[in-house]
Structure 1
């Protein structure tokens, strides 16, 4: 019997290795797998490459450091691949001081690199970033009079995903804008770990409402809405 639910955070995080590339879903706080990120911090893997939409929030004195900034503060992140880093943030300071590498990617390009990885497309050409610093070191071709640069698919060793509802096969639905990067990161991860707010019986999800089929999911942890590990 297929049952992808795990019983504990330790089981969900088992086997994540030093040096892994970790895809971290979410758009700011929305749709981010906060509980799984806390679990990754507790699990201890280091020398990580984190792929995330943004690490740009400036930390306010007196507030706890959480999420990706906490991983960076602990010295566990070698590199971030992201669309935005704010000067004066924990991530920005780490890059400035040479403690962490950063690769800035236009947001649409980041999404398409992830989608390509899940779809089995090794690379694609896009006009986005042509003629800018983004194009440095990349192949450039002319298509219909427009310069386009070659971008490669972006795979993850691990994808951390938040879902609204899941069944035991790992079929997932998402709520409103929390869908954001979650489906494409689920597809692009070699090991996809999901935290879900709600659990349903097999067959309860209408087929045309399933956004991420269970074939892309390896582990599911139920983190109920209202859990203190989730943002209000």
Structure 2
């Protein structure tokens, strides 16, 4: 219906120019009003469809993405020894599990849905994922090697998601990117530089309290130094 209306409205003006040239002003006015009404109907239908698709994603994607994340994260940790870090680099179970489950969920939908509709659905699904992933990261403990693994996990999955759409997805994972920036700091002395490079200039950047709390999740950083930061 949306495509039919779009094609119809797009063709009205050129198709009626000749009629308007020979018919009375009243007829031309009625034709113009009809054109505007069709354009208004197209806009309303588009809004209704967007809302419907958003609700569909809310019902189907939110819970599914949460389950995929939870099941992929089972027995995964981010406090790693050197040996465990090398094991993860060689055999990343989290990424493998996630991609397998994600593809099984989203692949059939991509085949069934029109391109623009799928793009919108995928964006909603990834928004739900990002929200749950941020929450999981804030509740997790890290050391530097684990933080490097998380940063790599984020990059690899973003690259994978980009295979399904041409729509830019970077903004969906901006907050997770900030979390990775904080968690991968080598030492507490670098924290203030990172904080002041973002605070007040980067929209949506975390508060000073959230920044400190996240740093405290790094078990290999000195707690007293973190708490003493002047942000």
TM-score range for the pair, normalised by the shorter chain length: under 0.3
TM-score normalised according to structure 2 size: 0.24
- The answer to which structure has the higher strand fraction is 1
TM-score normalised according to structure 1 size: 0.24
Larger relative contact order, structure 1 or 2 (CA cutoff 8 Å, min sep 6):
1
- The answer to which structure has the higher helix fraction is 2
